[in-house]
Amino acid sequence: MEAHFLGRTIVFDIVIARDDGTIAWRRLEKGVGPSILQVRMLKPGEVLEWRDTWLARQPADYRAQGILPSDATEPLRTPWVNFTVTP
């Protein structure tokens, strides 16, 4: 399967939202990146994984979503994942 990704190094975004829907953190909130498109052939069953770290400022319930821009009209999005930050 041919997959298209943004960037020479694949660009991904992570959004952390609070319970009320406000955004606590967005990995790509600011900044300007090159608009180059990378073409990758994925093997059947191949999984790609991206990680980043976010420093929580307050204990609370949050949810996170991963976003993968490409040349499609809408980027790929993971389902929201709920998690809790304890004091």
Partner 1 sequence: MRWISTAVLLVVAAACNENTGPQGTAEPLALIRPQQAPDMSALSRALPGFGGLFVDHGVPTVYLTDLGQRGLAERLLGGFARARGATGIRVLAGRFAYRDLDKWFQDVSNEVFAQGRVVFVDLDEAQNRVLVGVERGASHANVRALAARLGVPDEAIAVRDAEPIHYMATLRDQVRPVVAGLQINFGNFLCSIGFNATSGGQASFVTASHCTNRQGGVEGTQYFQPLASTANSFIGTEVADPKYFRGAGCPKGRKCRFSDASRAAYAAGVPFALGGIAATSGPNNGSIDITGTIAITAEGDAVVGDVVNKIGRTTGWTQGTVSATCVNTGVSGTNIVQLCQTFVDAGVGGGDSGSDVFALAGGSATLLGDLWGGNSAGTMFVYSPIANIESELGPLTTF
Binding site for partner 1 (CB under 8 A): 1, 3-9, 11-14, 16, 28-40, 42, 47-57, 64-66, 68-71, 73, 76, 78, 81, 83, 85-86
For the bound state, the minimum distance from the C-beta of residue 15 to partner 1, rounded and expressed in Å, comes to 9
| Closer of 20 and 32 to partner 1 (Cβ) | 32
Query: What's the number of CA atoms in the CB half-sphere (13 Å) around residue 33?
Result: 16
Tell me the C-alpha distance between 30 and 36, whole Å: 18
Which of 21/44 has CB closer to partner 1?
Answer: 44
Q: Given the complex with partner 1, which of 20 and 55 has the nearer CB atom?
A: 55
Distance CA 87, CA 59 (A): 5
Residue 15 neighbours by CB distance under 10 Å: 19
